[in-house]
Structure 1
Amino acid sequence: MSAVGEIGAHFAVARPRVLAALTRQFSNLDVAEEAYQEACMRAMERWPANGVPADPTGWLIMTGRNATIDRIRRDKRIVSGEALPDGPASEDDIEAALADQIDMSELRDDVLRLMFMCCHPDLSLQDQLALALKVIGGFSVDKIARAFVVKPKAMEQRITRAKKKAAAIAERLDTPSLQERTARLDAVCTMAYLLFNEGYSASGGDEHIRAELCEEAIRLIRLLLTLFPSQAEVMGLLALCLFQHSRRQARLDSAGKLIPLEEQDRSLWNRQEIAEGQVLIEKALRHGRPGPYQIQAAIAAVHCMAEMPEQTDWQEIERLYAALEQVQPSPVVSLNRAVALSKVKDARTGLQYLNGLSDALSGYLYYHTTLASLLDEAGEADRAIAAYECALQLGPTEQEVAHIRRKMKQCRSHQKNPEPM
């Protein structure tokens, strides 16, 4: 990875905590975002020459806070009567002040607090999530649009509306009560899972897996579970993330190439995380109210319990996806059920189930790669190559590009009359 790419990776990991701390400091999302951007610009100026500091997150918090206080003081000379934030401006004093404030909020975590703040009931659920992903995750409009499987223009309009609404209620963006947190829990869980997914499979760039983002999401979900210890869906969400994260060491080879699930060295899977996930999902399911996260965790558990790919219980997985379609119907769930059906029966059955999903998932990378895989398995190599070509137009990571091109090469070997390379 280049030096600029390495610094950018530090920004991506640090952003949630930095922005959350700055929001608590200045009680204004726009000011916090400006402070974060200023800190990043200064880091780009200094880190390449001086090296990345031992605590990049702390450095960005202090630098952003310091720069913003200095700017407000300069503005005060022009605009009278504007109050300054309390607190010293020197870096040493700021560091001490921040240390005194760490984990002192009611939610005990700035990022979690900010997530609950963004999930304000005055905003629609979709707007809450879009705002949280933009503000906390720093996701681009295109990335958020792909996460919601909608057009970028529609998502841009949604985020603009959410920001205007958030500005109108900014003075009420305080730490919510326990009752308010309960009402916002579903949105916060979704936000945490989308944050995990961005680390598990980055939606663009040269780094496919960002383990630190996965670990940050898991940390936040653990905090959620301490706040809501009897919530089966929070248990299911934590179990799901643990199952998925347990495979991280086996997902890329030494050259950074993606390794499909069925080809992974399962001895590299983290059995401690799998065992913890198994305990959590069993405890959650005993509540007798299986929700989407519990069902997804149960699916992941089936994969993790198979010592070899051929031992995977695809009938159970297909049954669970059928249940998930009932609880949380979506084109992406149907896409995954199509894969399970192809394993239980054959590729033609899976392709038949994909009929009708093309419009809803035309902008979804994994629809095209799944379609291509099933077409190739069904003996339609030409159509499979065309589907892979569509996938290449949807912003895959460098590792995904390499994986898709390898699959295309395999398809060409299956063609009856292969085209010249």
Structure 2
Amino acid sequence: MHSYKTWTRNLLLSVALLLPLVGLGNYLVDPYDIYRALRTPGFNANKNIATKHSRLSKPWLVEHLRPRALAFGSSRTEVGIDPGHPGWNPQAGPAFNFALGGAAIEEIAGRFEQAQDSAPLNQAVIGLDFFMFNAFNHNPMSEPGDGSNLDSLDYLLSTLLTVDAVAASFDTLRKQNPVRYPGVRPDGMIEESFNERRVARNGHRSGFQRIESHFFRDNLFPRPAGKYAFVNPETGLDTLEQFRKIITLARAQGIDLKLFISPAHARLLEVIDQAGLWPQFEQWKRRLVEVLAKEAGGHPDRQPFVLWDFSGYNSVTSEEVPAAGDTATRMRYYWESSHYKRQAGDLVLDRLFAYNSPERSVPADFGVVLTPANLEAHLAAIREGKAAWQAAHPQDRAEIAASRQAAGLPPR
């Protein structure tokens, strides 16, 4: 009995001594890019693991870095919108990319409020996507470890004293090659090598087909509901009301808010069309414009919030896709049909910030400010562009139809 008690006491003492060392090790390695006490190339500077845990790391960083200029949106914004663009308001300090993969508008509204609570925002850029307004979309902000409770002891324990944190630290230590194991930049943007590796291995067209299959199977019709609607009658969620919440808060707090519809590639618009959602796609834009027009009407003495539309068929979004198996050719503006490159994102920011770059010029057909006066003509012009693109791209349409059929959707 005495020997058992001694063994137990020694074990507890060893654990008590070991836990602080484990916590210190995880704190210094910092696999989730949260604490930033040490960032040494070759040791822990490359944060590959953080790409899979952005909802754990980014809310913490916003809480503690307190940036006053933020980019919000889905992974399209995370990949394409650069916080280092010179058009950001310098008085707001360094910008940070707070976009999160697969974010629904409900989550963006919550993160927007969360960020404003951390530090009064001076400027915000929000990339809007059709899929994020589906009221049947899953909201990751309601999950454990989502970064919504930043002051809890559980949050600290989960990032410092868990087996997962130890495994993440070891993974970080062995994945310090930023080309082989691309990570997240300190400003929240995804490293370009994250997508470059896929293109180098499989070519652009393979990526287009992969993403389009994902949209047919999961993104546009998320399980288990398998529906697209702006309102979920079961939960009462109204996605346009979530958008209105963002606008209302921005107005009340005097935030310089820049809004844009993402420049998804023309092939992704074909996915929306073949999914039978084109009427909803147009109605979505009408509803966004209605929300903004009503808000502007309530504040006639204030500058209205502007919505730029970069979707449609223009010289950027209609960029030709290299042939299957071509791993050498690089597209200028796209990784695949959903995610645009920083080169396209810079053009978006040039428009939003009215920034004239000495290095590039924005194509005249790229970007339209949507208003109640021009909206229907704009939608009609996009329909004409769709017909022209479809007539000129039978192979692309056939590939997308095959993806639709493989996803089990009925033919159109």
Same fold, judged at TM 0.5 (above)? no
Instruction: Give TM-score scaled by structure 1 length.
Output: 0.31
Instruction: Give TM-score scaled by structure 2 length.
Output: 0.31
